[in-house]
Amino acid sequence: MAALVKYGGNDDICPGPFYSNLTDSSLLLSLGQKADVYGPPCKRYRVTAPLIFRAGEKVIDEEKQPRSIDTLPDECLFEILRRLPGDKERSNSACVSKHWLMLVSSIRSSELAACNKACDESVKNPSLFLNNDVIVDEQESENNGYLTRCLDAEEATDIRLASIALGTCSRGGLGKLSIRGSNSTRVTDVGLSAIARGCPSLRVLSMWKVPFVTDVGLSEIANGCPLLEKLDLCQCPLISDKGLIAVAQKCPDLTSLSIKSCSRIGNEGLQAIGRCCPKLKSVTINDCLQVGDKGIASLVSSASSSLERIRLRTLNISDIALAVIGHYGKNVIDLSLTELQDVNEKGFWVMGNTHGLQKLKSISINCCNGLTDTALQAIAKGSPFLKQLFVCKSCYLSDAGLIAFAGTAKALEGLHLEDCNHITLMGILGALLKRSAELKSLSLVRCLGLKDISFEFSQLPSCMSLRSLTIQDCPGVTSASIQVVGRICPQLQNIDLSGQVGVTDESLIPLIESSEVGFVEINLTGCVNVTDDLVTMLIKVHGSSLKMLNLHGCRKITDRSLLAITESCSVLDDLDLSSCSVSDYGVALLASARQLNLHILSLASCSQVTLKSLPFLGNLGLSIVGLNLQDCSLISAHGLRLLEEKLWWCDIIS
């Protein structure tokens, strides 16, 4: 051995073994009889000469052999990737290929936690593991669900979901996920499984139009995301009661459930939700034909202690479901019933007379033939704190029913009637007389029974509490009725007369002059007979309080109105001049007004606005966040691009 250490000769190839005692040579290598071994002057011997094979044996060139890690089985790759020390490392490794991405995304958080614990043990006791250099960053394990991700149409794929699952781990964790797909969306259970495994902090999941997701994917979410609080499913044809039952069993913190157009979800799923989710507060069920009385009744009765909002639409339910809601809805504050064709007057009557809806504050009834005068009065009796009533497309509601309801609903603050053609102006005035001290908002939309009538002003009620009035597309309401409004409602602040083509300057002047508090929002969309004279007067009287002015379609409005706006409006932030006869000069006036801080300006279809307006629009200031220049044919695309560069913070529609 000493001779070897003192060896100082050249690097020769010496045949045969180095040791005189051949038995010692087995300590290094066992070589064939014809192998030549190179002996360098160092402690460790190297084999440099190739082995000499017998005749007929093929020499394998090692350099041509594939050395990629991808040659390993998926099971081995899975174990390797699972042992990466942190979220960032796993995210970086997923960038290698789609294969690696899907493998890394298939690792559950619990498996990572077990592996990280093992890594911590290796740091404390290196002798237990070969790799004693692994240090786990404790900050990376924090996953509180701060992030929100939304995928639309083509963006929604399994690969994208896997990337989100990995990318959000080290950045606070995914809290909200929204998938807005289409009929061609290729999101499947694989993508949802990746989210379930990598995002245990998920609290809100919304899936619209995902035709390939099944109960398997939803069950994975339930197993991997026990903190789920809100679930929204729309047009998911392959999800059934089985998936919903899995959510009910694994996600006890669920507070909001929305199911729309899911044909396979029925009563069993809703029964499970009612039994297992004691914190449920909001339920929305639309167009699910397998949902019937049994499912609704079980859900409402089981979750009666927490349920606050119920929205039902196009379901095969009868009077029984409404009776259960009326009896068990002790904490319901918001109730919406739409297109329930099998519900009769008896259902609404029982719902009101069971006196269970003591906390109900808002009710919306749309296209339900069972709503009659008797039914509406019963609802008012059973809901002493009712503040908002919305009725749409009621064929049997009359003036008598409306007046009786207003007399019983002593807390009523808002009344919205839409497509109620049996309601006349006498019914409206009668309701105002009953609730003259409480009613704050009145909205009448497409009520064809409203027509001008002649009466003495001394007989009219005075409604001092009314702050907001909407009369839209009611052709029978003309100048005479508008003048009446001005006399009986002196405290109005918001008025919407959209589509009232019969309104003129003469009818609006009394309304403007009678206001004692100052108008804040005025919408005159489609009032084609309104002129600059009215706008000038309006601005002169209410310019200091006016915040929103909509003159869309008022073609008699010119730059003269804009001059009045620039001189007297100090708090105006929303101005719509679409299809008006304003020009570049008017735009220049708006841009030069120092006191104006417009947030939204619409000049759509203004044929006299040209390229000359662009410099002035560019000087509107930092306050502008929305600009509508649609159908301005005299403004070129190049000019719009330059404007977008200058107002880079503003949302420009062109």
Q: Which tokens is 69 given?
A: 């890690």
| Mean pLDDT computed over 5-9 | 44
* Mean confidence (pLDDT) of the chain: 83
Strands (E), 220-313: 230-234, 256-260, 282-286, 309-313
State the Cα–Cα distance between residues 297 and 295, nearest whole angstrom.
6
Is residue 307 within 8 A of residue 332, CB to CB? The reply is yes
- Is the confidence at residue 166, as pLDDT, over 90? no
Q: What is the CA radius of gyration of the chain?
A: 38
State the Cα–Cα distance between residues 76 and 651, nearest whole angstrom.
51
State the Cα–Cα distance between residues 179 and 231, nearest whole angstrom.
12
CB neighbours of 25 closer than 8 A, spacing ≥ 6?
Answer: 17, 18, 19
State the Cα–Cα distance between residues 603 and 609, nearest whole angstrom.
8
Nearest 5 degrees, angle CA 280-CA 281-CA 284?
95
Beta strands at 174-180 and 204-208: parallel, antiparallel or unpaired: parallel
pLDDT tens readout for residues 251-300: 999 999 999 999 999 999 999 999 999 999 999 999 999 999 999 999 99
Three-state secondary-structure class, residue 448 = coil
173: left (phi over 0), alpha (psi -120 to 50) or beta: left
- Is the confidence at residue 100, as pLDDT, over 80? no
**CA-to-CA separations, 251 to 187, 204, 256, 298, 594, in angstroms, rounded:** 23, 12, 11, 19, 56
Burial of 447 (0-12, 13-18, 19+ CB in 10 A): buried
631: left (phi over 0), alpha (psi -120 to 50) or beta: left
Supply the DSSP symbol for 595.
S
State the Cα–Cα distance between residues 558 and 532, nearest whole angstrom.
7
For 101-110, 126-135, 176-185, 527-536, which range has the lowest pLDDT when averaged over its residues?
A: 126-135
CATH class of the structural domain 535-653: alpha beta
| Mean pLDDT computed over 143-167 | 81
Highest mean pLDDT among 112-121, 194-203, 547-556: 547-556
pLDDT at 350: 96
Nearest 5 degrees, angle CA 43-CA 47-CA 53?
160
- Give kind and range of the element (H or E) at residue 3: helix 2-5
Is residue 313 within 8 A of residue 287, CB to CB? The reply is yes
CB neighbours of 342 closer than 8 A, spacing ≥ 6?
Answer: 316, 317, 318
Q: What is the number of other CB atoms lying within 10 angstroms of the CB of residue 548?
A: 18
pTM: 0.78
pLDDT at 46: 44
Is residue 516 within 8 A of residue 491, CB to CB? The reply is yes
pLDDT at 398: 95
- Is the confidence at residue 411, as pLDDT, over 70? yes
Is residue 525 within 8 A of residue 498, CB to CB? The reply is yes
| Mean pLDDT computed over 511-527 | 92
198: left (phi over 0), alpha (psi -120 to 50) or beta: alpha
| Mean pLDDT computed over 314-338 | 96
Structural domain boundaries of the chain? Answer: 535-653
pLDDT tens readout for residues 69-81: 666 676 676 666 6
